[in-house]
Structure 1
Amino acid sequence: MNKILLAFFLCITICLPVFGQAEAVEAHTVVILENKLQAVFGGVESGKFVNANIAVKSLPGLKTFTPYGSDGLSGARFEVGSGERPSIPCEEFYQYASNDNPKNGVSFSSNVPWDPSPRQVTKLKTNSKIYRSIVRKFLKKQGLRNPVVNITALFKVDLEGDGVDEVVILGERYVRFGPGTQKGDYSFLLVRKVINGKVKEILATGEFYKQAVRFGAPNRLEISSIVDLDGDGTLEIVIYGAYYEGVWAEAYKIKGGTSSKVLTTGCGV
């Protein structure tokens, strides 16, 4: 009996610090950067997303990052400095210094334990007659009677890892980009997904102008990257956006038949 008690107390004194260390390592933040913004996008702690204001605290100890572009392929590693807020007051927006910063995509800190790009992302031709017809019908559903179809990005990728590809469509049409909009202007991110044998269109984000608006502050969109941001096996779609007095980035997770925004950062007036 005494030997059992002795073993128990030894475990209390020896094992608990080890368990504590394991938890500390597990909770260590994986920092994610948005390269075009040259800013901290956010991070992941114990499989959960955290905002940039939390992730930036780990940046001084994580100097080396690996970039991933819109095609999911990684590039050459680069180093960054600490994150700082710009002179314009913007909440949760922290830019970093780097001489080798990639021009687009997102980057992960060197402590990322998962593969951010586990499946192939295939770029499709944006002048496809099939998808131009699909987009025309979609725009009419949004209330645009005679839409001018303009697909700016088109990708095929298995987002959820279930063996079935989704199609990611980015579309945009602005007669004159600025604070106002013209009738028929639009921008959107659309995912076409097969659910129970039927194709469902999932609108992640978008704006559609049935009439001209003098001050609409429209957004231009680009696909920054399609990668697994949090290590759950599902690829998120990261978009870079800009309007006439600001820039931003957002990440969307497609699960089942719904879309949810999981990360966002930006700065503007």
Structure 2
Amino acid sequence: MLRFTQDFVLTVQTREFAEEYTLTLTIEPLPGATDLEIWPIVDASTGYIVGGTDNAGNWLPAEAALAPLDAGLLMQAYDDYFLQDLVTARVNPQQSPVCAQPLAAIDGEPELGEALLISGRWNSMPRLPFYGVSPEPYVSIVRAELLAAGLVDPVVNIESVTLVDLEGDGIDETIVVAQHVDVSNPAVAEDDYVLVLLRKIVNGAVVNLPLHADFYASANDLTYPSQYALQMVRDLNGDGVLDIVLRGERYEGRSLEIFSVDGDNSYLALRADCQP
């Protein structure tokens, strides 16, 4: 958050010559308030004000994160890797008549897709995740979890595997999203499931921490299951630990969840959903 200047010496070398250039890079904080006590988080695609954090890294519910947005707040719009844009978000004067979730409006209504708007001025990605890891080594692990949960003949469908050092200890955690469910209707079939696993090493042993574990041993027409996708991992409260952002979908509904990791525990820090 401090303004500073750093000089870099670049050497361009070919077979015929070598020449040096000096690049002066000045890093400044984003314009706008840098002394906030509350840092809101907004989901661009739904407008959900997900919640926020304070300067001590405590998670705050959406209702406690509204004040900085009243007059408009400059926020950073991130996809899973990159900064897309700087935008101004504010409390939407037209709240949903059916959802209790507070909503934000973004000035100019830019096309941001499923970006997450972050107001904190710290480095939200101190370590890079590796998306698109081969699911093959995890098929037997997922199958064992499904059979242990009482499913008889489940179809192992792993949708994503991500490696990332969440805590900065030099050891990668693994996030596995596996599911076999149809959210285009409220029904589930026999042996359907939704499983989101965080695999990490604790005291030298690999443990599975389920972020979501929904198993359906029998069919039901009115279950309204949810399915999930890993949207990104980012440090959203400034504690140096990367948090896990999941996007959820169900029949006529969407959600966004932020999970935090603390040692051998994981917990749901914030959740935004459309609940009448």
**TM tier relative to shorter chain:** 0.7 to 0.9
Deviations 1:75-114 (A, max 9, x none): 22233343346333322432424421421141212xx231
Q: Does 2:213 match 1:206?
A: yes
Alignment of 1:43 onto 2:52: yes
Alignment gaps of 5+ in structure 1 = 1-23
Change (3 A) 1:27 1:77: closer
2:121 aligned with 1:108 = no
Correspondent of 2:38 among 29, 36, 40? 29
1:8 corresponds to which residue?
none
CA RMSD of aligned residues (A): 2.1
Q: 2:102 matched to which residue of 1?
A: 93
Any stretches of 5+ residues in structure 2 without a counterpart? 1-32
The residue that corresponds to 1:119 in the other structure is 127
Structure 2 residue 161 is the aligned partner of structure 1 residue 154: yes
- 8 Å CA contact 1:73–1:117 kept in 2: the answer is no
Cα-to-partner distance string for 1:5-46 (whole Å, 9 max, x where unaligned): xxxxxxxxxxxxxxxxxxx97552211111232221111122
Q: CA offsets, 1:225-250, max 9 Å, x none? A: 21111001111111111221322111
Shift in alpha-carbon separation, 1:62–1:209, aligned structure 2, 3 A: same
What does 1:199-238 align with in structure 2 at a 5 Å threshold?
Answer: 199-238=206-245
> Are 1:131 and 2:141 an aligned pair?
no
Task: Tell me which residue corresponds to 2:91.
Answer: 82
**Pair 75,97 (structure 1): closer, same or farther in 2 beyond 3 Å:** closer
Q: Is the 8 A contact 2:230 2:245 kept in 1?
A: yes
Which aligned runs of 4 or more in structure 1 are off by greater than 6 angstroms?
Answer: none
Provide TM-score, normalisation by structure 1: 0.82
Q: What SS does the corresponding residue of 1:140 show, helix, strand or coil?
A: helix
Which moves more between the two structures, 229-238 or 61-70?
61-70
CA contact (8 A) 1:93 1:267 kept: no
Q: TM-score, normalised by structure 2?
A: 0.80
Shift in alpha-carbon separation, 1:256–1:81, aligned structure 2, 3 A: closer
**Percent identity of equivalent pairs:** 28
Q: Cα gap change, 1:108/1:135 in structure 2, threshold over 3 Å: closer, same or farther?
A: same
User: Relative to total residues, which structure has the larger helix share, 1 or 2?
Assistant: 1
Structure 2 counterpart of 1:187, from 185, 190, 194: 194
Contact persistence 1:139–1:147 (CA under 8 A): yes
Contact 2:183 2:227 in 1 (8 A): no
Residue 32 of structure 1 aligns with an amino acid whose one-letter code is I
| 1:224–1:240 CA contact under 8 A, matched in 2 | yes
Structure 2 distance, partners of 1:60, 1:149, is 47
1:265 and 1:176 map into 2 onto residues whose CA distance is 18
Instruction: State the alpha-carbon separation in 2 of the partners of residues 140 and 36 from structure 1.
Output: 36
Contact 2:180–2:193 (Cα < 8 Å) also in 1: yes
Contact 1:245 1:268 in 2 (8 A): no
| 1:37-65 deviation digits (Å, cap 9, x = unpaired) | 22211111222211111212211344322
Q: Distance in 2 between matches of 1:85 and 1:188?
A: 36
- State the AA in 2 paired with 1:203: P
2:65 maps to a residue whose letter is A
Deviation at 1:175, TM superposition (A): 4.9
Partner Cα separation in structure 1 for residue 77 and residue 245 of structure 2: 13
Cα offset, 1:215, TM superposition: 0.8
Preserved CA contact (<8 Å) 2:183 2:250: no
